[in-house]
Chain A
Amino acid sequence: MTSREMMHRSEVAVSVELETPDMTLNIGPQHPSTHGVLRLVAKVDGERITEVEPVIGYMHRGYEKLSEVRTYAQITTLVNRIDWVSGFANEVPFILGVEKLMDIEAPERAQWIRLILSELFRISSHLVFMSSYPLELGATTPLMHVLREREYILELIEGVTGGRFHPNFNRVGGVKPNYGGGSQTKKQSMDLPAGFFKSTLEAMDRMDQICDDIDTLVTGNELIKARTVDVGIIPGDKAIEYGLSGPNLRASGVAYDLRKVENYLPYDQVEFDVISRTGGDCYDRYLVRLDEIRESVKILRQAIDIIPAGPLQVKVPRILKVPVGQVYSRAENPKGEFGYYIVSEGGKMPYRLKIRSTSFSNLTILPWVLKDQLIPDLVAIMGSLDFVLGDVDR
């Protein structure tokens, strides 16, 4: 019997006689565990939250309005700043959508480079979760160990694209082909630098090592289990109704992974399995992300052997005019389903760009799941949903 039922009886008895009014606790925009600027106006009765109203919009940069005055190349630089922890993975669905509109297809090698970089960013995003979630539960050491290992992943990404967080390496019709537009730099191609495969394999061994360290430090830790098992249970149908996607959905028993279902990148030539658990509580969401790091490591090891040689980009006119049409393209971003609805009226700029960001939908379930929880549980549940405020506020 979870602690909630037990507390409930004694609390009901007390509050019925005392009729104490609820205190409105403002878990404000500046709070250590709100993953950015999210404000929760919580009605608190003692430690128990009776009702929560999230207030968002502090990070609203208006991407959809900005994208109406920018060309497609400029939007790709803008778009990897939405969910800044998984930069490259935000660009992929947008670029694929534009390629569908223009009916062109990236060459084989470019698609494999996109796959490799998306998986590297998935590992980096999940490692950020692995470092911040135990910190919210009070354990400060995993943060340092995990971020030390994550440096190797960022080193790889910077070696290929030049940027650690905002690679800006995707072009319509492929991947950034060469250094610049001029004659002299035409020859210097932006292909994978020498030694990339060797250092990736070394990095993957380090990833296995850090996963085992996390297992000893966090997964096996009975106190972490005490704080997360059966806390914030989200059943499968509620997750579907609220539009939760990614690890949050897969932890509630719905094994739905866009990489298998929507073949937007050559994921069918690499075999990996979809991790899903049925518990739906914080501990399962945490375990799904930990196993997904291991899956991504498996994918990367296979991708390095399969990647073919070849050109990096298909011939694309310098001034890009996209034909009239509307397309919805989505991809498996580390946090869930990330999609773009592009309405193009044949100009250099899209007429309308709807951004389906994962954390926005993941956060809609907060008022439902936080009802009747204790304040420390609120921190544990919010942490397990792993959202980023830039993604929520767009």
Chain B
Amino acid sequence: MSDQPDTATEPNPLEEYAAGIAERLGAEGSSAEFDTVRVDVARDKWVETINEARKELPFFSWLSAIDWSKDTDVGEGVANPDELEERFEVMCRLSSVENGDGAIFFTTLSKDDASIGSLTATIGGAEWHEREAHEMFGINFDGNKNLVPLYLPDDFLGNPLLKSYPLIAREVKPWPGDVDVEGLPETDEEGDAS
């Protein structure tokens, strides 16, 4: 049903759309694989680009972040960890209310000074999204008047969605799946392949 980009040569309409938005807003780059339009924005021009883009895509869908880091204490790591540069990626999705198109704006923050301008001046709804990103990743949104934790209790230490933050529930209880069938009493051959 969705128009998959079948061959690289035939220009997929989403690619043109993404390129169009990128140079209209003076963004750095754009791509559109898997039907998701992605526009990369410079960090210092984040607030102006989003406000500019809202003229065309007014609907503020959501704002969140990704933590790219090598030492993943939780879940599977990155595909090729050696050439991954550790960074945060803040993403904000805007979409239009007439047709189906929309775009996700990305910007990268380095791990040590993770702070970025806040959108709450023009978008009222962004406050909660930013508060959530702040408490989950530790990204600081200067300009957001009340950056108090949204979900977590006030005295909560640490930012849970970081890859380095352990999932305690999984540490406390041993995994029932890694119990093996013991070998025959006299022959101590290895249990079947787990």
Contacts and interface: CB of A to CB of B under 8 A. Distances in A.
B4 interface: yes
B93 A328 contact: yes
B42 interface: no
Given A57-B150, A60-B152, A351-B75, A341 B34 contact: no
A82 to B, nearest CB: 14
A74 to B, nearest CB: 12
A10 interface: no
Nearest to A258: B100
Given A56-B151, A103-B4, A346-B79, A65 B62 contact: no
B161 A65 contact: yes
Nearest to B156: A57
A349 B76 contact: yes
B36 A327 contact: yes
A77 interface: no
Contacts of A111: 1
A241 B76 contact: no
A343 interface: yes
A368 to B, nearest CB: 6
Contact of A256 (B60, B67, B97): B97
Interface residues of B, number: 48
Nearest to B149: A57
Contacts of A65: 74, 160-161, 165, 167
A326 B77 contact: no
A368 B128 CA distance: 13
Contact of B2 (A57, A64, A69, A100): A100
B123 A349 contact: no
A345 B60 contact: no
B127 A364 contact: yes
Interface string A233-252: 00001101111010001000
A337 interface: yes
Contacts of A346: 79
Chain A interface size, under 10 / 10 to 19 / 20 to 34 / 35 or more: 35 or more
Contacts of B160: 62, 65
Contacts of B77: 345
A50 B30 CA distance: 45
A258 B98 CA distance: 10
B173 interface: no
B152 A57 contact: yes
Nearest to B146: A53
B170 interface: yes
Contact of A324 (B2, B67, B79, B165): B79
Nearest to B35: A100
Contacts of A364: 124-125, 127-129
A356 B153 CA distance: 22
Contacts of B2: 100, 263-264
Contact of A337 (B61, B124, B165): B61
A161 B62 CA distance: 32
Interface in B52-106: 58-62, 64, 66-67, 74-79, 91, 93, 97-100, 104
B35 A327 contact: yes
Given A68-B74, A365-B125, A354 B97 contact: no
B16 interface: no
Nearest to B135: A57
B75 A349 contact: yes
Q: In this complex, which of B122, B124, B125, B152 has the most chain A Cβ atoms within 10 angstroms of its Cβ?
A: B125
A345 B75 CA distance: 11
B76 A345 contact: yes
Interface in B98-148: 98-100, 104, 122-125, 127-129, 136
B151 A57 contact: yes
B33 interface: yes
A154 interface: no
Contact of B76 (A238, A262, A348): A348
6 contacts: A57-B151, A62-B160, A68-B163, A243-B60, A328-B36, A339-B62
List of 10 A-B pairs having minimum Cβ-Cβ separation, nearest first: A347-B76, A57-B151, A242-B125, A68-B75, A327-B34, A261-B100, A60-B151, A364-B125, A256-B97, A345-B79
Given A100-B2, A242-B123, 5 more contacts: A56-B151, A241-B58, A256-B98, A265-B1, A341-B104
